[in-house]
Amino acid sequence: MRKTINTLSAAVVAAGMGTAASAAVVDLIGDKDCFGTGGACAEGSALPGWGVVTQGVGDPAFTDIHTFSGGTTSWTHSFGAGAYTGGTLSIRTAGIADIAGPYDVLVDGVSVGMMPFDGFGHILVETFTFAVDASLLADGMAMVSFDSSSGDSWAIDYSELTADMSAIPVPASLPLLGGALLFGGWVARRRRKG
């Protein structure tokens, strides 16, 4: 009996010492439809020509469209203010920075990385993933932008921002509550015997 109570008490205390799993908030702009083809694109694969890139009615203006004019491309992720610990930005592209580049990717005006010049000159599917500092996520808005060169033909399938939140600590009273329940059970059992 005593061994059982000690084992249960230790289990309750150990369970109360951890933290809950951290959560992530994901904001997807565009859709993962292989540039409007309705299929799936393997990383590094070539699209069967620019004619297959098809923008649907509900697609954001910068996705699923063949672009070759230079200038600034920008969009804003909106995901709610919070205590974020950092995040990642993933942009699925085809053909970008093939004949020009590198292109500096900015979040709220701060560089998070580059889309390097690769010199391929054809339509390869590539996903660029960048780490995003927590200070850029706290307000729940992240404006993403980059400047491209005229003549570099490319398309964006989607942009996905994942903002990681702090782990939620288990309340300190949980082990005390567990201990009180065990003690109450022990007292009730002794009363029945005695």
Is 184 a member of any domain? Answer: no
Give me the mean pLDDT over the 115-132 stretch.
84
Beta-carbon neighbour count of residue 174 at 10 Å? 15
The pTM of the full predicted model, rounded to 2 decimals, is: 0.74
Is 52 a member of any domain? Answer: no
Is 80 a member of any domain? Answer: yes
CA atoms within 13 A on the CB side of 156: 22
pLDDT tens figures, 43-62:
988 876 667 788 888 889 88
pLDDT tens figures, 3-42:
544 444 445 445 555 555 568 999 999 999 998 888 788 8
pLDDT for the residue numbered 5: 47
Is 185 a member of any domain? Answer: no
* Domain harbouring 106, CATH code: 2.60.120.1200
Taking 80 as the threshold, does the pLDDT of residue 96 lie above it?
Answer: yes
Is 57 a member of any domain? Answer: no
Is 127 a member of any domain? Answer: yes
DSSP state for residue 127 in the 8-state scheme: E
Q: Say which residues have a Cβ less than 8 Å from residue 20's Cβ, sequence separation at least 6.
A: 167, 168, 169, 170
- At residue 23, the 3 state secondary structure works out as coil
DSSP state for residue 18 in the 8-state scheme: S
CB 38 within 8 Å of CB 132? no
Is 9 a member of any domain? Answer: no
Structural domain total, the chain: 1
Residue 101 structural domain: 23-47+62-166
Structure tokens at 63: 């996705």
CB 23 within 8 Å of CB 31? no
